[in-house]
Amino acid sequence: MLIGKLAAETGIHIETIRYYERVGLLASPPRTRGRHRVYDEHHSQRLTFIRRSRELGFSLDDIRTLLDLSDRKQDCAARKVTLRHLDDVRGKIASLKRLEKALENMTEACTPGDQKSCPIFDALSGRG
Amino acid sequence: MLIGKLAAETGIHIETIRYYERVGLLASPPRTRGRHRVYDEHHSQRLTFIRRSRELGFSLDDIRTLLDLSDRKQDCAARKVTLRHLDDVRGKIASLKRLEKALENMTEACTPGDQKSCPIFDALSGRG
DNA sequence: CCTACAATCTGTAGCCACTACAGATGCAAG
DNA sequence: CTTGCATCTGTAGTGGCTACAGATTGTAGG
């Protein structure tokens, strides 16, 4: 199958597929005489693995590791990678929640008709 | 004051200060004969505003807007920008929470000693 | 006044994970 | 043989910095 079909099948843009090949995530497929890439089911499965991993927020580096671990059936190591990523995600949630609180406080303090200084600008100026 | 002192005062790296100038966030300060930048209290306040806004997750584009609104004392408009950003943050939290759940499910399903297929690899392959 | 050394200067390239072109080909149907 | 879409390569752009290299400026000590 050609790259367009692979893209349609996996939901990954053509340019992104070529990008994954360039950075070594997806093996270079054989070519036609006219240098068009020819993929098979194996490539499609790999690409689906990559897409699912990306959807779960793994970095391309992590995915490289996961693909390798999957080939070598090292599921314990994969669990570690996943737990580390989960930690990361939780950290991001926590820091976004702090942002959310701060932003809520700012907007709640800012009531229309208030003639004095604006609490939003005060907060941003470091006075809040 | 020179750029090093401004950096120390505001907690923003020298390169970042120059970057902000380059992208039009911070006005070009006057220079010494030898082209060294000379800042005053006004620059320092602006930079603090920028730093606080960055800490709250505003994009540089948003910050440009907020700085302008602050100059023109348009606090209602600033409130809108802030609410929009708050929405953004909440959206990110929601999607990270979905990730968190999915990752939790994967790692919980993966118990050591399980001899069959690995639920992590299954999930990533699109079978989960 | 001279030297040493720190601070600053400009310009460029790199990071991540793509995305968006331009301009040149390949390939299949009519 | 032409039309027209698909694919090719290569490069540049995104955001928000960061990290250099190599040149210059400023300043304190001798």
> Under CATH, to which class is B1-58 assigned?
mainly alpha
Model pLDDT, residue B118: 87
Q: Chains A and B: how many Cβ contacts under 8 Å? A: 112
* Helix runs in chain B, H state only: 3-10, 14-22, 41-55, 60-71, 75-109, 119-124
Q: Which residue has the tokens 């020298």?
A: B14
Residues B93, A97: C-beta atoms closer than 8 Å: yes
Residues A106, B82: C-beta atoms closer than 8 Å: yes
> Under CATH, to which class is A1-59 assigned?
mainly alpha
The nearest CA of chain A is from the CA of B84 a distance in Å of: 10
* Chain A residues within 8 A of B49 when measuring between CB atoms: 124-126
Give B16 CA → C10 C1' in Å: 15
Q: Is the ipTM, as predicted for this complex, more than 0.85? A: yes
Q: Which residue has the tokens 């380059």?
A: B22
Residues B75, A45: C-beta atoms closer than 8 Å: no
Name the pLDDT band for A128 (thresholds 50, 70, 90).
very low
At A28-69, the pLDDT tens digits run: 999 999 999 999 999 999 999 999 999 999 999 999 999 999
Closest among A124, A115, A103 to B76, alpha carbons compared: A115
Model pLDDT, residue A36: 98
Model pLDDT, residue A109: 87
Closest among A36, A56, A123 to B66, alpha carbons compared: A123
Closest among A25, A22, A3 to A12, alpha carbons compared: A3
Model pLDDT, residue A115: 62
Classify each residue of B51-66 as buried b or exposed e, where b means 16 or more C-beta atoms within 10 Å of its C-beta: bbbeebbbeeebbbbb
Domain ranges, ordered by start, for chain B = 1-58, 74-128
Q: How many other C-beta atoms are found inside a 10 Å radius of the C-beta of residue A86?
A: 19
Residue of B52, B76, B118 with shortest CB distance to A75: B118
Residue B100 structure tokens: 């968190």
At A59-103, the pLDDT tens digits run: 999 999 999 999 999 989 999 999 999 999 999 999 999 999 999
Non-local CB neighbours of A19 within 8 Å, separated by 6+ positions: none
Q: How many other C-beta atoms are found inside a 10 Å radius of the C-beta of residue B17?
A: 23
* Chain B residues within 8 A of A102 when measuring between CB atoms: 56
Q: Which residues in chain B land under pLDDT 70? A: 113-115, 127-128
